[in-house]
Amino acid sequence: MLENQKRSKLFTFSLQAQDAFGKAMGLTILWSIWALFFSNIDSIFIANVILSALCLGLALIAPLIDFNESHATNPLWTGHARFHLVWQVNALAASGILVLVLLWVIPSAMNLLISIIILYVWLLSFMFALIFMPIYNGKLNDVNGVPPIKISLFKKQIEIDRNVQAISAGLILSTYASLIIFFALLGYVASANLIRFFISSKKIETSFMVFAIESQ
């Protein structure tokens, strides 16, 4: 890995931005828990905020991390590998922007579903690439690439690849937001059915009253 003094300012800033974004996501989750249980904020809105935060990660953090000497201008990479990287990151950022538009500019139940599918496609694609690395002799990182996250656990230092950490967190948060939406929709359906049942009961009750009056 590149030592601190050998990294460009852009590379160093991208790592700091990713760390700050991770903390912001943590605060977003804490806010969502408070909003779900201690406020009257609509559950769909809460889920949209979580999904939007993930999209900002795709649209902003991914290009920051990759468009420097760790990836796009890495001297160890061939020109063809760099081309595919820039292509992928552009598509990733465009997908993030598209989901934001679907969620907030033209919101609908269908667009919400499409947004979730788009996020899962990107996240699961990474996982498939990770699982099948032995087949194509892939690697998670380069010797001069993005440094891992170091965590001390039981007096042992554990290194976690930043991609694995980010994508795993993304999958957990996407599932969390999807479950919020699922149970919110279940609640809406249950409420609608309850209202229909109440209306039907009132109609039946009214019919009996009319029948009783007419019988007299």
Condensed to tens digits (0 to 9), the pLDDT of residues 52-64 reads 999 999 999 999 9
pLDDT over threshold 90, residue 45: yes
Q: What is the spatial distance between Cα 105 and Cα 100, in angstroms, rounded to a whole number?
A: 8
For residue 128, tell me if it sits in a domain: yes
- Evaluate whether residue 204 is within a structural domain: no
Whether 73 shows a pLDDT value over 70: the answer reads yes
Statement: the pTM of the whole predicted model exceeds 0.85: no
Evaluate whether residue 83 is within a structural domain. yes
More confident: 18 or 2: 18
Q: Is the pLDDT of residue 213 over 70?
A: no
Name the DSSP letter for residue 146. Answer: P
Q: Whose CA is closest to 45, among 99, 111, 103, 124?
A: 103
Mean pLDDT across the stretch 7-32? 93
As a whole number of angstroms, the distance between CA 177 and CA 35 comes to 13
Looking at the 3D structure of the chain, how many domains does it have? Answer: 1
Span 156-178, pLDDT tens digits: 888 889 999 999 999 999 999 99
The model's pLDDT over 75-100, given as tens digits with 9 standing for 90+, comes to 999 999 999 999 999 999 999 999 99
3 state SS of 160: strand
Position 132 in a domain: yes
The 10 Å Cβ neighbour count of residue 116 is 20
H-helix segments, the chain: 9-38, 43-56, 62-66, 79-100, 109-131, 133-136, 162-215
Would the pLDDT of 212 be above 50?
no
Tell me if 205 is assigned to some domain. Answer: no
Would 71 be classed as within a structural domain?
yes
pLDDT of amino acid 215: 52
Residue 156 located in a structural domain: yes
Within a domain: 186:
yes
Which pair of structure tokens corresponds to residue 64?
Answer: 């920051």
Q: Residue 169 is part of which domain span?
A: 4-190
pLDDT of res. 38: 93
- The mean pLDDT of 135-158, rounded to a whole number, is 86
